Amino acid sequence: MNESRTTNRYPVKLSVTVTFQDENRETSIVNLSVGGALFTGFGRLPIGTQLSLAFKVPTSEIEIRANAVVRWSTEDSTGVQFDGLRAREVWSINEYFKELD
């Protein structure tokens, strides 16, 4: 398998709202980096699907709202790449990661 990730991934358990085709669903992020996330419980989505995520990390009051693109998906989990996090959202995620190290 070609590991081409440029950011560290952290195992987490965060509530997230995933918006896809005007439908909001609550699920869980189980793996997070500043480049993307892995969430469960949504079902298979086509590669390239655009969606948005809204979540908070425990160390910040900032709600992270991220557009994302599906990079892979199974019936159980979906891996997405973020599309343009703002600087304060990247800072918030990185501050959370300091607590996990």
Domains observed in the chain? 10-100 (2.40.10.220)
Q: Are 72 and 40 in contact (CB under 8 A)?
A: no
Q: Are 1 and 72 in contact (CB under 8 A)?
A: no
Asked if pLDDT for residue 2 goes beyond 80, the answer is no
Q: What is the mean pLDDT of the chain?
A: 92
**Could you give the residue ranges of the DSSP H alpha helices within the chain?**
87-100
3-37 per-position pLDDT tens digit: 454 678 999 999 999 999 889 999 999 999 999 99
Question: What's this model's pTM, rounded to 2 decimal places?
Answer: 0.89
- Residue whose C-alpha is closest to residue 67's, from 48, 54, 56: 54
